[in-house]
Amino acid sequence: MIDYQLLYQALEVAGAGEWVSLLPSQLERAFANQAHGDLPRWQKIVEELPRLAANDVDLLAQVRIGAEADLTGVERQALYDNLMGLHPWRKGPYQLFGIDVDTEWRSDWKWDRLSQHISSLKNRLVLDVGCGNGYHCWRMYGAGAKLVLGIDPTLLSVMQFQAIRKLHGEAPVYVLPLGIEDVPAETKAFDTVFSMGVLYHRRSPLEHLLELKGCLRPGGELILETLIVDGDINTVLVPENRYAQMRNVWFLPSSELLMLWMRRCGFKNIRLVDVTKTSIQEQRSTDWMRFHSLSDFLDKDNQALTCEGLPAPVRAIVIAEVD
Ligand SMILES: C[S@@+](CC[C@H](N)C(=O)[O-])C[C@H]1O[C@@H](n2cnc3c(N)ncnc32)[C@H](O)[C@@H]1O
């Protein structure tokens, strides 16, 4: 069981007392909603993981927790089997006591693209909206953040995070099974807010930008990463149905239009720092994610298109501040 007292205290101090008063019931509801699915099996896996107290930890250059020599072959096999029980692993990679959790995504590549552009995270209170299993939360903590809170409504991701956290040991890094809509409007508590891979899942992208703005304290920094399309300030793609097989994709603006949206929402000092086409090396099937992946979602004869005939995924990273 994770003790949230330190998190609650930090949020209180930062002025997010209203959210702290709501959090216990929000968490109870989130876990109760899925109490009859796979959740009990995932919880059992996390409960049965040994407390290994890793000495050898690197969160700065990668997420490596524990050394191969810390475990016997039998112990490592048991850990491998338990972690595999939490398949599919989408975000990573993780090096855990000599086990290479080779996830669907090379999330470290995204981190490498953005980390040189953001303000130092030293001593900052950070919110990672739609954090998946928390891979980047560990990197943010490794980069010096005082406390990192990730939120993601997908319970399997949250349980994967809990498994990693148990292997790491106590740390001011938390992932809660919540969505951005659970953060009270105008909380204005976080020094840095990340929203990566979320905007295109929102039916109202400008509302999402305003929600993110409301999470930031005055002078705070937003790091936004989302799918874009080629085009001018008037270009936006709204897929008729699926996009690269994903349901639930709504707005893919050009980078120019994205920055206009951000200006209209009141962000300042808006910089486009990276545009990268997603490669089939960055997102692919592995032993740890055995379902279809990007290469199956692209046109077989033309990798510039998705299988629906739309422009293949290109992602932009934009950094901005609030007054
Ligand atoms: C494409 S993944 C991105 C994960 C990670 N941020 C990254 O960049 O690698 C999008 C994540 O957003 C989460 N998500 C979807 N709706 C959300 C919401 N309303 N609030 C917060 N997260 C949400 C999904 O569960 C999913 O894990």
239/195 Cα distance (integer angstroms): 21
- Between 51-55, 183-187, 250-254, the lowest mean confidence (pLDDT) is in 51-55
Does 323 reside within a domain? no
The preferred substitution site among 114, 136, 152, 226 for testing ligand 1, maximizing ligand atoms within 8 Å of CB, is 152
Å from CA of 200 to ligand 1 middle: 10
Do residues 319 and 223 touch, judged by C-beta distance below 8 A? yes
Q: For residue 71, how far is its CA from the centre of ligand 1 (angstroms)?
A: 33
Ligand 1 atom 22: residue of nearest CA: 130
Q: What is the DSSP string of 164-210?
A: HHHHH-S-SEEEES--GGGSPTT---EEEEEEES-GGG-S-HHHHHH
Mean pLDDT on 166-176:
96
Q: Which pLDDT belongs to residue 145?
A: 98
Spacing, Cα 130 to ligand 1 middle (Å): 3
pLDDT tens for residues 230-286? 999 999 999 999 999 999 999 999 999 999 999 999 999 999 999 999 999 999 999
Output the pLDDT for position 54. 81
Q: In what order do the strands lie in the sheet with 125-129?
A: 173-176, 147-151, 125-129, 190-196, 216-228, 314-321, 268-277
Model confidence at 53: pLDDT above 80? no
Kindly report, residue by residue over 281-323, the tens digit of the pLDDT.
Answer: 999 999 999 999 999 999 999 999 999 999 999 999 999 999 9
Assigned domain for 253 exists: yes
> How many Å lie between the centroid of ligand 1 and the Cα of residue 9?
26
pLDDT at residue 144, rounded to an integer:
98
* In-domain check, residue 108: yes
CA–centroid distance, residue 67 to ligand 1 (Å) = 30
Q: What is the DSSP string of 229-266?
A: -S--TT-EE--SS-BTTBSS---EE-HHHHHHHHHHTT
Quick one: pLDDT at residue 34?
79
Cis previous bond, 93, omega within 30: yes
User: Measuring from each residue's beta carbon to the nearest atom of ligand 1, which residues come in under 6 Å?
Assistant: 91, 107, 110, 129-132, 151-154, 157, 179-181, 196-198, 201
Mean pLDDT of 207-217: 98
Does the structure show a pLDDT above 90 at 125?
A: yes
Indicate which residue's Cα is closest to atom 24 of ligand 1: 130
- What does the pLDDT read at residue 26? 97
The domain that holds 276 is classified in CATH as: 3.40.50.150
Confidence of residue 52 (pLDDT cuts 50, 70, 90): confident
pLDDT at 41: 96
Atom number, ligand 1, closest to the C-alpha of residue 130: 22
**47 in a domain, yes or no?**
yes
* Ligand 1: residue whose CA is nearest its atom 3: 197
Look at the alpha carbons of 50, 128, 148, 178 in this order and tell me if their dihedral is positive or negative: negative
Q: Assess if residue 305 is contained within a domain.
A: yes
How confident is the model over 107-124, as a mean pLDDT?
98
- The answer to the question of residue 128 being in a domain is yes
- How many C-beta atoms lie closer than 10 Å to residue 250's C-beta? 17
Instruction: Give 183's pLDDT tier (boundaries 50, 70, 90).
Output: very high
The pLDDT of residue 51 is: 85
pLDDT of 1 > 80? The answer is: no
Residue 156 lies in a domain: yes
How is 62-130 classified by DSSP, letter by letter?
S-EES-GGGS-HHHHHHHHHHHHTT----S--EEETTEEE--SB-HHHHHHHHHTTSPP-TT-EEEEET
Domain that holds residue 309: 5-318
Q: Please give the tally of structural domains in the chain.
A: 1
How remote is the C-alpha of 50 from its chain's centroid?
Answer: 26
What confidence category does residue 20 fall into, taking pLDDT thresholds of 50, 70 and 90? very high
Question: What percent of the chain stands above pLDDT 90?
Answer: 96
pLDDT of res. 229: 98
pLDDT exceeds 90 at position 35: no
Q: Which two tokens stand for residue 297?
A: 């979602």
pLDDT of residue 63: 98
Is residue 268 within 8 A of residue 213, CB to CB? The reply is: no
Q: How confident is the model at residue 21 (pLDDT cuts 50, 70, 90)?
A: very high
Which of 198, 202, 209, 215 to mutate for ligand 1's pocket (most ligand atoms within 8 Å of CB)?
A: 198
Mean pLDDT estimate for the chain: 97
